[in-house]
Amino acid sequence: MNLSFAGKTVLVTGGSKGIGLACAKAFAAAGAKLIICSRAQSNLDAALPDIPGAVGFAADLADATQAAAMIEQAESRAPIDVLINSAGAARRSPPGELSPDFYRAAMDAKFFSTINVVDPLIKRMAARGQGVVVNIIGAGGKIASPTHLAGGAANAALMLVTAGLAAAYAGQGVRVVGINPGLTETGRVAEGMESEARLAGISVDEARARAVAKIPLGRMASPEDIAHAALFLASDQAAYITGVTLTMDGAVTASIV
């Protein structure tokens, strides 16, 4: 199977850590020219030495103006062929600590940090007649979790947008797909375990052990597991796959829906 991205330019948001960094490394290894974005320049400085030939731009993608400026900077180097959205994650919280402001912050952190990039860039892709968008979303948008209601709502909205944009832009040569990771070995999930532990009144180690015990595959995903799926979905080998969101939770969601 040929998964070469030679001659392609790939933009990875949230590309300095976790799943985003794993995606950036995977696409670079497949020959792509990489552009990564992170909210903090210090994170870019730490990540870029590990991604040969990559460049990085710092921007808070929850701010539409900063997101648009980042896209202008990126496309001034080369038209973007593939967009991997891995930026943003909503904080987890026990239900009793939620508030309207917490929900709003979750939408900014996850939904708008994706939409503020997708909306202007997918229109450019459509004008060029080609492009692929892969949204790294999250299984919390499909199965409600008491500590992930705000973030889960943002994820559910992104799943709908993924399907809708795929249908809207299919005739203009643009594919849009999603990936719903379950628990993955990242700093964000480690932080989320603290909320789970607080809600259950147990230690973080016990919360983690309970969570892993519910995964039929017996382990959390690695960031590389998710990156490999993104690489395939963005490739020409997946040319007829669009409008779907792939669940990658180790068979926790044993459902045909």
Contact call for residues 61 and 13 (beta carbons, < 8 A): yes
Question: How does pLDDT run along the chain (257 residues), one tens digit per residue?
Answer: 678 999 999 999 999 999 999 999 999 999 999 999 999 999 999 999 999 899 999 999 999 999 999 999 999 999 999 999 999 877 777 788 889 999 999 999 999 999 999 999 999 999 999 999 999 999 888 888 877 888 889 999 999 999 999 999 999 999 999 999 998 988 877 777 787 788 788 988 898 898 899 999 999 999 999 999 999 999 999 999 999 999 999 999 877 65
Q: Which CATH architecture best describes the domain 9-248?
A: 3-Layer(aba) Sandwich (3.40)
DSSP annotation string for 63-127: SHHHHHHHHHHHHTTS--SEEEE----PPP--GGG--HHHHHHHIIIIIIHHHHHHHHHHHHHHH
Q: 50-66 b/e with 16+ CB inside 10 Å = b? A: ebeebebbbbbbbbeeb
What is the three-class DSSP state of 10?
strand
Closest CA to 230 of 27, 61, 6, 34: 27
The predicted structure's pLDDT at residue 190: 75
How many angstroms separate the Cα of 101 from the Cα of each of 32, 60, 104, 154? 40, 19, 5, 14
Q: Take residue 149 and report the two structure tokens written for it.
A: 């209601």
Q: How far apart are the first and last CA of the chain?
A: 29
What span, in angstroms and rounded, lies between the C-alpha atoms of 220 and 193? Answer: 13
What is the three-class DSSP state of 135?
strand
The predicted structure's pLDDT at residue 200: 82
What span, in angstroms and rounded, lies between the C-alpha atoms of 1 and 3? Answer: 6
Whole-model pTM? 0.92
The predicted structure's pLDDT at residue 257: 58
What span, in angstroms and rounded, lies between the C-alpha atoms of 111 and 85? Answer: 11
The predicted structure's pLDDT at residue 1: 67
The predicted structure's pLDDT at residue 2: 72
What span, in angstroms and rounded, lies between the C-alpha atoms of 109 and 27? Answer: 25
Altogether, the residues listed in the chain come to a count of: 257
